[in-house]
A and B are shown apart, each in its own frame.
Chain A
Amino acid sequence: MWEYTDKVKDHFLNPRNVGVIEDADGIGEVGSLACGDALKLTFKLDENQRIRDAKFQTFGCASAIASSSALTEIIKGLSLEEASKITNEDIADYLGDLPKEKMHCSVMGRDALEKAIAHYRGEAEKKIDGEIVCECFGVTDREIERAVRENSLRSIEDVTNFVKAGGACGNCHEKIEQIIGRIIGTQKPAAKKPVRLTNLQKIKLVEETLDREIKPALQKDGGDIELVDVDGNTVFLRLCGNCAACSASQITLKHYVETKLQEFVTPEIVVEEVAG
């Protein structure tokens, strides 16, 4: 059982501002089903360019819902300049603190707000900033650096609590340690090289993993997947059946297929779809 503050419980059980503003000025969406939480934030400005109304939709745990609700309450009445200064800590403070394992919920709120403001300002969807470190949750080195710096994080566990990185397969733990080391100035020696697979071994492993881990799951949903080619660490796949028509196929590919291949073949695998 998590120790949630009364304020968290209140915002979870009686969330404020649930919904979507139809003619919103700013829209920010973060997270995914695979990650286990997601937030869609919309806001409307008044004639003085202050946030008149804000609404949210959230898929996630109690603290994700409470953080979203708190975020909408915090930003109402703020100018965009003021809103852009809101940090994840502001959200956590508003709720009277969050369990440390749940800090990523407040980070999700901050990220959605940033995105919504960028959307309003017509800034191009920010390219993924930096290099992906945690493949499971799609977290980049920049995001980790920022979290480490802003929240004085000192361990992999801390990083996982704040930005989720390192919370699943664990393959990125060494890289996370290096980032922490870099920021706090006690850099660790370079990671040891993973075992190298020959091309033939790699293709065999990809085939085995597809057959054993991936196809049965897709076939259950009336879909299927075909291996087209392997080039270096890029695996070319074709989705068939229901999967081909499914709008979530990119999520399937990136979050399910790629993760599985990374888990069973090598962490460097990248999946590319070949159109049917």
Chain B
Amino acid sequence: MKIVYADNNATTMVAPEVLEAMLPFLKDQYGNPSSMHTFGGRVGFAIKDARAKVADLIGASPEEIVFTGCGTESDNTAIWAALHAQPDKRHVVTTRVEHPAVKSLAESLAKKGYRITFVPVDGQGNLDLDHLYRHLSEDTAIVSIMWANNETGVLFPIDEIAQRVREHGIVFHTDAVQAVGKIPVDVRQSPVDMLSMSGHKIHAPKGVGVLYVRKGTRFTPHLIGGHQENGRRGGTENTASIVGFGKAAELAASQWLKDMDRVKRLRDRLENSLLERVPNAMINGNRDRRLPNTTSVAFEYVEGESILLMMDQYGICASSGSACTSGSLEPSHVLRAMGVPFTAAHGSIRFSLGTYNTDEDIDTIVEKLPPIIDRLRDMSPFWHEAKAKTAAG
């Protein structure tokens, strides 16, 4: 069965060029980049090259790039670095819709006695900027706000926020894991102090992340060990994956970012076709300020896991904001923070496209999904109730 992969915010395919670039470092070029001999040193040069390519993608200098093990490690490192560098400051500002990499850390900091401000969002997923600015204080150690939301794709005005936060002399970090590679991100334009990225969201393999640390930012390492990454992250480098990340960054800059107009057209066609064909469906989040590849579609009166498993029959891969898919009992914290009613939150499906998606993929989803919704609704007592109500007038 052909796989229709529409779950690129979860992870992406390793690009063939990326795999090609990595293979030598999984085979003969196994040296340790820290070694004194030429054999290891060659690998060191490859990492240097990858660092330069990643830096280029976001307008940074190579020495501002720290390779980590994943996006979560980058986020944790950034927040801990700010807290350790300013031990007298006990306040952290973030949002109610962050990825668990930041949200769960903030919650655990709250238990350790830190004061946390979770900035709310409106029904469209837009950040309450007044609330954010009002809560900045002398005591604030760091503000950490995602660039783009992973579930809805809604973008936050990072340039503006970073500028305001900087005026207060507060460290600003952004989780840009979903933004990099999908929209232009340039740290020369955006005055962020730290920025997290993840390899596997941009067609590099899993297990490699990056933390951008602007020159002059006070930093303490999270993983303490050897002198790797200029003393900012101990641990022998994941050489092949770092090389892969470099190749992916190069391809993102030269090809994939340019392809996002096409991806956006696919996404728009997908969501418009679904809205046309399926009654009682709506888009979660601000449609005018979103990533080009993401759509979160709410189908009222049906449950997300059931939709996903029926689509799975046709090889269609997507994600759901429903409770049942996560193993928790509550629907996604993002949709709840937006006040998406329960009728819709449980039946929300996220499609996230990428450069390898085609028109045929969209055709398949548009053909297969509406009958699935019909079928599940026919089983749903709430759908029948709602229909009876409409009929009654």
A274 to B347, CA, bound (A): 32
- Taking a contact as CB atoms closer than 8 A, the residue among A33, A57, A102 that contacts B379 in the complex is A57
A124 to chain B, nearest CB (A): 23
A38 to B382, CA, bound (A): 9
A213 to B322, CA, bound (A): 20
A13/B378 contact (C-beta < 8 A), A59-B301, A61-B306, A101-B327 known: no
What residues on A are CB-neighbors of B224 within 8 Å? none
What residues on A are CB-neighbors of B331 within 8 Å? 36
Are A62 and B306 touching (Cβ within 8 A)?
Answer: yes
Are B339 and A137 touching (Cβ within 8 A)?
Answer: no
What residues on A are CB-neighbors of B322 within 8 Å? 36, 61
Are A12 and B341 touching (Cβ within 8 A)?
Answer: no
A56 to B381, CA, bound (A): 9
Are B342 and A33 touching (Cβ within 8 A)?
Answer: yes
What interface size band does chain A fall in? 35 or more
- CB of B310 closer than 8 Å to a CB of A: yes
Are B329 and A137 touching (Cβ within 8 A)?
Answer: yes
A216/B324 contact (C-beta < 8 A), A33-B382, A36-B303, A58-B379 known: no
- CB of A228 closer than 8 Å to a CB of B: no
Chain B residue with Cβ nearest A215: B339
A168/B329 contact (C-beta < 8 A), A57-B379, A61-B306, A62-B309 known: yes
Are B330 and A62 touching (Cβ within 8 A)?
Answer: no
- CB of A193 closer than 8 Å to a CB of B: no
Q: Tell me the chain B residues, 258-307 only, with Cβ under 8 Å from chain A.
A: 301-306
Are B341 and A217 touching (Cβ within 8 A)?
Answer: yes
What interface size band does chain B fall in? 20 to 34
What residues on A are CB-neighbors of B157 within 8 Å? none
- CB of A167 closer than 8 Å to a CB of B: yes
Are B341 and A212 touching (Cβ within 8 A)?
Answer: no
A36/B380 contact (C-beta < 8 A), A221-B341, A256-B342 known: no
Are A13 and B310 touching (Cβ within 8 A)?
Answer: yes
- CB of A29 closer than 8 Å to a CB of B: yes
- Taking a contact as CB atoms closer than 8 A, the residue among A33, A56, A57 that contacts B343 in the complex is A33
What residues on A are CB-neighbors of B112 within 8 Å? none
- CB of A34 closer than 8 Å to a CB of B: yes
What residues on A are CB-neighbors of B389 within 8 Å? 247
| Chain A 31-71 interface 0/1 with B at a Cβ cutoff of 8 Å (1 = within) | 00111111110000000000000001111111011000000
A221 to B123, CA, bound (A): 10
A116 to chain B, nearest CB (A): 13
Given contacts A12-B306, A37-B324, 16 further A-B contacts (CB under 8 A): A33-B342, A33-B382, A36-B329, A36-B330, A36-B331, A56-B379, A59-B379, A59-B381, A59-B383, A60-B303, A60-B306, A61-B324, A102-B324, A136-B330, A167-B329, A220-B339
4 shortest interchain CB distances as A-B pairs: A217-B339, A167-B329, A61-B324, A61-B305
A-B contact pairs, 10 of them (CB 8 A): A36-B323, A37-B324, A59-B301, A60-B303, A61-B322, A62-B309, A101-B327, A217-B339, A247-B389, A256-B342
